[in-house]
Amino acid sequence: MVQTSTIVATTAVTVITLGAAYAIYFDYRRRHDPEFRKALKRDRKRHARSERAQQAAASAQQREIVAKAVRQVQLEGFPVDVEEKEVYFMQEVAQGEVLCQEGPDRALEAALAFYKALKVYPQPGELISIYDKTVPKHVLDILAEMIATDGSIQIGSVPPREAGLGVE
């Protein structure tokens, strides 16, 4: 009777041999068959086009989510009293920092907290330059979208390019 290890070894050698033979055949066709090369090129282009379309759809969906979040926050309103603004600012910055620590899946909530703090801060340009140094880039990018969506935040003396927000 044939041992199990012999069967396993024979099967493994057969699979490896077939894999190598297919790789050699594929390489030969790729090098020598112009129609095969054209088909591969078409497939690559089709795949790249599909990827770009998916990225554009995801980007549009992200912008829609950000715009909806900004509108919701604006409807909720912001404190008017100076002491309330200070407390609100500290609370939102602390919440944003905690959410940043929790991971990239909480980036929207973190950016929203930083956005709320930015709305009540008297000099948003200075706060943006601080955010640029302390907030992770993926959260900062979402925050930049929020600022662009809002349009009412006056950045002041710090140009958006220097602040790293890419808002024009």
What does the block give as tokens for 153? 């935040």
Distance of CA 109 to the CA centre of its chain: 14
Long-range contacts of 67-72 (CB under 8 A, 24+ apart): 67/149, 69/108, 69/112, 69/146, 70/115, 70/146, 70/149, 70/150
pTM to 2 decimal places: 0.65
Q: Mean pLDDT highest for which of 43-47, 120-124, 143-147? A: 43-47
| Integer Rg of the chain from CA | 27
What pLDDT was estimated at residue 163? 45
Q: Mean pLDDT throughout 137-155?
A: 85
- Asked whether residue 160 carries a pLDDT value surpassing 80, the answer given is no
38-91 confidence digits (pLDDT tens): 999 999 999 999 999 999 999 899 889 989 988 898 888 888 888 998 999 999
What is the residue-averaged pLDDT of the chain? 87
Of 127, 21, 117, the closest CA to residue 78 belongs to: 117
